Amino acid sequence: MAIQTTILNRTFAYSGLTLPDPGKGLSLEEVRDVYAATYPELISASIEGPEKKGDNLVYTFKKGVGTKG
């Protein structure tokens, strides 16, 4: 029996958008900071995941501003 390996790609989800990984060497927080230049509300967002979807590991940015609790 042969063992198969699959390389899983990191992707990021935010507000219905799928965002590609801007750099494999970046930490999750660094990725959030890169995308915060385009989406300023990500500055205070939390990062959830990963969730495996096909050949992707999907991390989700959740807005921290405007939520109760």
| Domain assignment present for 46 | yes
| Domain assignment present for 47 | yes
The whole domain housing 52 covers 9-62
Each residue's pLDDT tens digit, 3-54: 999 899 999 999 999 999 999 999 999 999 999 999 999 999 999 999 999 9
- CA dist 28 and 45 (Å) reads 11
| Domain assignment present for 69 | no
| Domain assignment present for 41 | yes
| Domain assignment present for 2 | no
What's the pLDDT score for residue 8?
94
Structural domains in the chain (count): 1
Other C-beta atoms lying within 10 Å of the C-beta of residue 42: 25
